Amino acid sequence: MPGSTDSPVAVGAAASAGVGAAAGSEATVQIELWSLARASLGAPDAGSAAVRFGPQCDGPVALAAIDGLLLAAGRDRDDQIGVFAGRPGDLHRVGAIEAGPDDVAVVVDLVRLHQRWHLFGCCPEGRTTHHVSDDLVRWERRSEIDRSFPAFGVSGVAAVADQLLLAGRVVVDRSAYGWGLLACDGEAFEARPAPVPLSSQLTVVGPISNAAGDVTLLLDSGTNHTIARSTGRGWTLSLLTPVMVPSAVLVIDDAVWMAGRAPDRDQATLARVGGQHLDEVGPSSHGLIRKAVAIDGTIVFARESR
């Protein structure tokens, strides 16, 4: 699928026609946090070197690492989403969002922009939810995205320069109509160009941004695994190497890495995008990695518990 495109995606028009897809059963999956020393990557026993720590959450967990601090957000009570901060292996609950599963069914991403924290998720119908906080303790629900893009179901968020970039599905009358990108200055949302036509039925992992502001998305059609890169002037697409089914993306030493699994195996795996080597991580009895971040010399990942 090599090539490039920079045509806008008319997410707003499609969004006005319906609501997002149902969040599904993902919220009932138990997620655990694990840490792995980066020095273990490439070693034969990298899988056994991973260590479990922190809270176990009902459903997806959002992870962030900023200024040497590890942040996590996930549902740890029926009526609350816990917000945790600290070092790998030593997380403490510092705040909470008062929202039951009927309000926020799936937690997606936790990002910081202009000294303010943003937590994005999806309600049971699939529409995007948005909470903000200045201190990680007190959180406020924002409704601007409900008004401007009511059918956009966010799947990933990244802070890029002075804005947030959101990837997500667009659904009309509960039927998937591809996906698109939104940008947010912290308050208002607007559509952004996407690397492929809106009608493409893809699984999208990311976005993620490096220090230079270059954006990466991993696209999985089920048969093709593609990487989309943007330096601000459209998108360039190429085949993803090494070959794997991605489920999370992260930056290590300003290089893009991915977590997922090999096409013929169910073991959780890490690999540098464009590299050759696959590292199996954590016990093989556990499920896929859903989020991952690098902090100092450690990789922290949120993984399904079987």
Longest dimension (CA), the chain: 52
Q: Whole-model pTM? A: 0.89
Q: Which two tokens stand for residue 23?
A: 């969040």
Compute CA distances 50 → 27, 89, 252, 267, whole Å: 24, 11, 17, 14
Cβ pair 220, 246 in contact under 8 A:
yes
pLDDT at position 305 is: 85
User: How far is Cα 259 from Cα 237, in angstroms, rounded to an integer?
Assistant: 19
Q: Mind listing the pLDDT tens digit for each residue in 4-46? A: 333 333 343 333 333 334 454 465 789 999 998 888 776 656 6
Q: Mind listing the pLDDT tens digit for each residue in 138-175? A: 999 999 999 999 999 999 999 998 999 999 988 666 66
- 36: which strand partners? 299
Sort strands 80-87 and 90-98 into parallel, antiparallel or unpaired.
antiparallel
User: How far is Cα 2 from Cα 211, in angstroms, rounded to an integer?
Assistant: 25
226 CB neighbour count, 10 Å cutoff: 18
Q: What is the mean pLDDT of each run of 10 residues along the chain (306 residues)?
A: 36 36 59 88 67 91 95 96 95 96 96 96 92 97 94 94 92 72 95 78 90 92 89 88 93 94 85 88 80 94 88
- In 3-state terms, what secondary structure has residue 183? strand
Burial pattern 54-90, b for ≥16 Cβ within 10 A else e, equals bbebbbbbbbbbeeeebbbbbbbeeeebbbbbbbbee
User: From its phi and psi, is residue 169 left (phi > 0), alpha (psi between -120 and 50) or beta?
Assistant: beta
